[in-house]
């Protein structure tokens, strides 16, 4: 309703002004053909000379540039991530209270725990996992993990000494048998503006449980980054907001050999899977009875564009200009990126509506509409907020 009203206002405003770009004009740059940039993903930066805690071995660093990923099974000290799990429990509690207050659930399932409370909430109110995914609250424990010395030392090896946190970070709320949290094949660049191809963005994929084939670990198409190219994706997969890279495009455009290159990455609790933004990956369905929680956190060079549609800045995390540099978390922690994404699409973002949208939906052909793409079917002529 609110959306329709806003659209009507916009149309009348538009008639007053001249030359308002149509949404297709405004997003035309997303469709421009791009030159491949293989060296961005295959060229190792100068390596730090100092030995630091957590650093990868030379062969692990080389693997990252050769295969597009590296899996480090015992990265964190035992129990380092326990505080992060506790923070997740608090977030689940927050969402349960919100839903309860809104009258959407009758039982907050306070007797359930990390492995199953969200699943019970999801059964009572379908979409709770999506609501939590999109909440975008960055608790102190997540901030501390993102700026963990060991992780930044690895990022320094793979990105360089100047490091910024990328605004796209996620808590994956992968409840059992849930299409909404099963992420199909994609390159992360496909969610961003084409300029993101010019900059290597490092992801640390950090499971908060032992992630395995049964509960839906990740698969990576080894070497699929080497062409330095973002292949054609389509939108949106099934009933989700995800873009999708077909196996055909992986083979034809990225040179992936489906028989040899697909690597299933089981990551034990305490391990980390490092990925770049051009290597294709997907997560398998969670066929277990526990929630496969994970966090994905990203870094890149601060002086390069982050490709996030000018919606949110990166945050400086380490600089060699100031050894005592203190991260300013204010903007990263207090701006809800889902809200900004949805506003860019002129989509209402009701916290308790399990819908997610974003400008990436304008980059690729929509081959399948669902509730997440609904805003794209409207008659708005400009995507600018009044």
Ligand X SMILES: O=C(O)CCC(=O)C(=O)O
Rounded to the nearest whole angstrom, what is the least distance from the CB of residue 211 to ligand X in the complex?
Answer: 8
275: which strand partners?
69, 203
Secondary structure E strands in 222-309: 233-235, 243-245, 262-265, 272-275, 281-283, 292-300
Rounded to the nearest whole angstrom, what is the least distance from the CB of residue 278 to ligand X in the complex?
Answer: 12
Of the candidates 186, 183, 91, which has an alpha carbon nearest to the alpha carbon of residue 131? 91
Q: Which residue, judged by CB position, is nearest to ligand X in the bound state?
A: 283
Q: Work out what residue 196 binds among ligand X, Fe ion, none; the CB cut-off runs from 5 to 8 Å by kind.
A: none
Rounded to the nearest whole angstrom, what is the least distance from the CB of residue 294 to Fe ion in the complex?
Answer: 11
Q: Work out what residue 172 binds among ligand X, Fe ion, none; the CB cut-off runs from 5 to 8 Å by kind.
A: ligand X
Instruction: Using CB under 5 A, count the residues that bind Fe ion.
Output: 1
Q: Which is nearer to Fe ion, 75 or 169 (CB)?
A: 169
Residue with tokens 């699943």: 119
Residue with tokens 């490709």: 307
Q: Which is nearer to ligand X, 298 or 362 (CB)?
A: 298
162 binds ligand X (CB under 6 A): no
Of the candidates 233, 130, 119, 120, which has an alpha carbon nearest to the alpha carbon of residue 182? 130
Among 148, 296, 346, 355, binds ligand X (CB under 6 A): 296
Q: Which is nearer to Fe ion, 119 or 201 (CB)?
A: 201
Contact flags string 203-242 toward ligand X, x per CB under 6 A: x-x-------------------------------------
206 binds Fe ion (CB under 5 A): no
Of the candidates 171, 229, 173, which has an alpha carbon nearest to the alpha carbon of residue 205? 171
Q: Which is nearer to ligand X, 105 or 221 (CB)?
A: 221
Rounded to the nearest whole angstrom, what is the least distance from the CB of residue 178 to ligand X in the complex?
Answer: 11
Q: Which is nearer to ligand X, 81 or 183 (CB)?
A: 183
Q: Work out what residue 283 binds among Fe ion, ligand X, none; the CB cut-off runs from 5 to 8 Å by kind.
A: ligand X
Helix (H) or strand (E) holding 204: strand 202-207
Among 156, 162, 188, 261, binds Fe ion (CB under 5 A): 188
Q: Which is nearer to ligand X, 20 or 311 (CB)?
A: 311
283 binds ligand X (CB under 6 A): yes
183 binds ligand X (CB under 6 A): yes
What is each CA distance from 291 to 108, 194, 294, in whole angstroms?
Answer: 17, 34, 9
Judged by phi (left if over 0) then psi (alpha if -120 to 50, else beta), residue 141 lies in alpha
188 binds ligand X (CB under 6 A): yes
Among 67, 166, 172, 337, binds ligand X (CB under 6 A): 172
Exposed, middle or buried by CB within 10 Å (0-12, 13-18, 19+), for 246? Answer: middle
- Kindly state the DSSP code that residue 31 receives in the 8-state scheme: G
173 binds ligand X (CB under 6 A): no
Judged by phi (left if over 0) then psi (alpha if -120 to 50, else beta), residue 201 lies in beta
Q: Which is nearer to ligand X, 109 or 281 (CB)?
A: 281
294 binds ligand X (CB under 6 A): yes
Say how far apart CA 213 and CA 376 lie, in whole Å: 35
Rounded to the nearest whole angstrom, what is the least distance from the CB of residue 188 to ligand X in the complex?
Answer: 5
Exposed, middle or buried by CB within 10 Å (0-12, 13-18, 19+), for 55? Answer: middle
Judged by phi (left if over 0) then psi (alpha if -120 to 50, else beta), residue 223 lies in left
Of the candidates 216, 188, 204, which has an alpha carbon nearest to the alpha carbon of residue 273? 204
Spatial CB neighbours of 112, under 8 Å, sequence gap ≥ 6: 120
Q: Which is nearer to ligand X, 65 or 205 (CB)?
A: 205
Binding site for Fe ion (CB under 5 A): 188
Binding site for ligand X (CB under 6 A): 172, 174, 183, 188, 203, 205, 281, 283, 294, 296
């Amino acid at each position: 309703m609110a959306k329709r009203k806003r659209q009507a206002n916009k149309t009348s405003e538009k008639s007053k002004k001249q030359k308002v770009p149509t949404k297709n004009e405004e997003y035309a740059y997303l469709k421009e053909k791009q030159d491949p940039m293989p060296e961005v993903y295959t060229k190792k930066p100068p390596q730090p000379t100092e030995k630091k805690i957590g650093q990868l071995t030379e062969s692990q660093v080389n693997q990252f540039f050769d295969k597009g990923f590296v899996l480090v099974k015992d990265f964190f000290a035992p129990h380092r991530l326990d505080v992060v799990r506790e923070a997740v429990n608090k977030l689940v509690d927050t969402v349960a209270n919100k839903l309860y207050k809104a009258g959407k659930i009758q039982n907050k399932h306070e007797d359930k725990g990390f492995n199953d409370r969200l699943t019970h909430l999801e059964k009572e109110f379908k979409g709770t996992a999506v609501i939590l995914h999109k909440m975008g609250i960055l608790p102190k424990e997540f901030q501390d993990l993102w700026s963990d010395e060991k992780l930044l030392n690895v990022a320094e090896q793979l990105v360089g000494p100047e490091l910024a946190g990328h605004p796209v970070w996620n808590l994956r709320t992968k409840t059992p048998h849930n299409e909404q949290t099963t992420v199909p094949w994609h390159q992360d660049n496909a969610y961003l503006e084409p300029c993101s191809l010019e900059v290597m963005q490092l992801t640390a994929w950090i499971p908060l449980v032992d992630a395995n084939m049964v509960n839906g670990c990740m698969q990576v198409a080894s070497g699929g980054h080497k062409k330095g190219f973002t292949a054609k994706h389509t939108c949106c997969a099934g009933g989700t907001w995800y873009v999708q890279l077909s196996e055909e495009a992986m083979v034809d455009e990225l040179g992936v050999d489906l028989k040899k290159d697909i690597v299933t990455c089981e990551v034990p609790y305490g391990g980390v899977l490092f990925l770049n933004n051009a290597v294709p990956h997907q997560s398998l369905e969670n066929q277990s009875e526990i929630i496969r929680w994970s966090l994905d956190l990203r870094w890149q060079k601060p002086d390069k564009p982050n490709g996030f549609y000018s919606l949110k800045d990166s945050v400086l995390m380490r600089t060699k200009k100031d050894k005592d540099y203190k991260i300013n978390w204010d903007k990263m922690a207090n701006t809800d990126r889902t809200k900004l994404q949805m506003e860019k699409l002129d989509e209402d973002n009701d916290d308790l509506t399990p819908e997610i949208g974003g400008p990436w939906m304008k980059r690729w052909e929509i081959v399948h509409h669902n509730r997440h793409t609904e805003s794209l079917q409207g008659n708005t002529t400009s995507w600018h907020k009044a």
